[in-house]
C-alpha cells in the first residue's frame, strides 16, 4: 500500500459508508464521460469503473498513477498536475462530469481554473475543506461571504451536500471536510472576467472599508449611487449581481 505524501496534500478516503454515499450522490451512468481528479488509491474509482462510465483519471503522484493503471486498465490515466494540464486536450469529448477529493492546498486555484472551462463541463462534485465549501455557498452579508463566494456563484449553482469527518480519511486531516455539487449556470453572465476578478481582489482585501473606499479608483461614489448602491455599504453586502453591475460599468469605459 502506498503511503500518503504530505507534499501532495494526500488524505485517502477509507470510510466505505461515505464512499458509497458519495458515489450514490454522483450517480455516474454508462457512457458518460467522467474525469476524476486526484483518485489516490482508487476508493471512488473502483465504483466509477463499475458504473460503466467512460473514465479519465488525473493523478500527479507517479507511484499512484502506476497502481491505478494496473488496477483499472479500462480507464484513461493522465499522470499530470491538474493545475498545469491542458484541460481542453484532456477532455475533448465534452461535456464531462468531474469528481474529486481535492488536495486542500490546491482547491481554490483549481476551482478558479475550472471556472474558465465550464463550456466543457456539465457538473462537478468535490470533496473540499468545510471552510472552503462554506465560503463557496455563503450568502451576502455573512462572515463567510467573499471573493470565492462571488466567483463560484457567478459561474455555478453551489450546493453543500453533506459533511465528512476527519476519521473518514487516512491519515486524518486536522479539518472537517464537505461534499459540494457545482452545476454551471445554463446562461452565463455577461461580464469581463479580468475586471470582476480585479474588483473582487481589491474589494475583499479591504472588506472592513465601505465600498466608497474599497472600490476607490474603480467605481466612483456617484456611479455606485447610479447603480442603486449606497456608498456606505461594505464589500460583503453586495450581491453577485451587484458586482456584475459594477464590473459592467467599468467595462463600458475601458
For 15-40, how does the pLDDT look when each residue is reduced to its tens digit (9 = 90+)? 999 999 999 999 999 999 999 999 98
Where residue 222 falls (left for φ over 0; alpha for ψ -120 to 50; beta otherwise) is alpha
Closest by CA to 186, choosing from 135, 138, 121, 251, is: 121
CA-based nearest residue to 83, from 145, 147, 37, 18: 37
pTM of the model: 0.91
Q: Which CATH number fits domain 193-252: 1.10.8.100, 1.10.940.10, 3.40.630.10, 2.170.130.10?
A: 1.10.8.100
Domain boundaries, the chain: 6-184, 193-252
Say which CATH topology domain 6-184 has.
Rossmann fold (3.40.50)
191-217 tens-digit pLDDT: 999 999 999 999 999 889 999 999 999
Question: pLDDT tens across 60-107, in order?
Answer: 989 999 999 999 999 999 999 999 998 888 776 778 999 998 877 889
Contacts of 217 (CB under 8 A, 6+ apart): 202
C-alpha cell at 58: 488525473
Answer whether 243's CB lies under 8 Å from 236's CB.
no
Does residue 59 surpass a pLDDT of 80? yes
Amino acid at each position: 500500500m502506498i503511503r500518503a505524501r504530505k507534499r501532495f496534500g494526500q488524505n485517502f478516503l477509507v470510510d466505505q459508508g461515505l464512499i458509497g454515499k458519495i458515489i450514490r450522490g454522483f450517480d455516474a451512468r454508462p457512457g458518460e464521460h467522467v474525469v476524476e481528479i486526484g483518485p489516490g488509491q482508487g476508493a471512488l474509482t473502483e465504483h466509477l469503473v463499475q458504473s460503466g462510465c467512460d473514465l479519465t483519471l488525473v493523478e500527479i503522484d507517479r507511484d499512484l498513477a502506476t497502481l491505478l493503471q494496473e488496477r483499472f486498465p479500462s480507464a484513461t490515466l493522465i499522470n499530470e498536475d491538474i493545475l498545469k494540464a491542458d484541460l481542453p486536450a484532456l477532455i475533448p469529448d465534452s461535456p464531462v462530469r468531474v469528481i474529486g477529493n481535492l488536495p486542500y492546498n490546491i482547491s481554490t486555484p483549481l476551482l478558479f481554473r475550472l471556472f474558465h472551462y465550464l463550456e466543457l463541463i456539465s457538473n462537478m462534485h468535490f470533496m473540499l475543506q468545510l471552510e472552503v465549501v462554506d465560503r463557496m455557498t455563503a450568502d451576502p452579508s455573512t462572515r463567510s461571504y467573499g471573493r470565492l463566494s462571488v466567483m463560484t456563484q457567478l459561474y455555478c449553482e453551489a450546493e453543500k451536500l453533506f459533511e465528512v469527518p476527519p476519521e473518514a480519511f487516512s491519515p486524518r486531516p486536522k479539518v472537517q471536510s464537505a461534499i459540494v455539487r457545482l452545476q454551471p449556470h445554463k446562461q452565463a453572465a455577461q461580464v469581463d472576467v479580468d475586471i470582476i476578478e480585479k474588483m473582487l481582489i481589491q474589494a475583499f482585501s479591504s472588506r472592513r472599508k465601505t465600498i466608497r473606499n474599497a472600490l476607490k479608483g474603480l467605481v466612483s461614489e456617484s456611479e455606485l449611487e447610479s447603480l442603486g448602491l449606497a456608498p456606505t455599504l461594505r464589500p460583503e453586502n453586495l450581491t453577485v449581481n451587484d458586482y456584475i453591475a459594477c464590473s459592467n460599468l467599468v467595462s463600458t469605459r475601458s
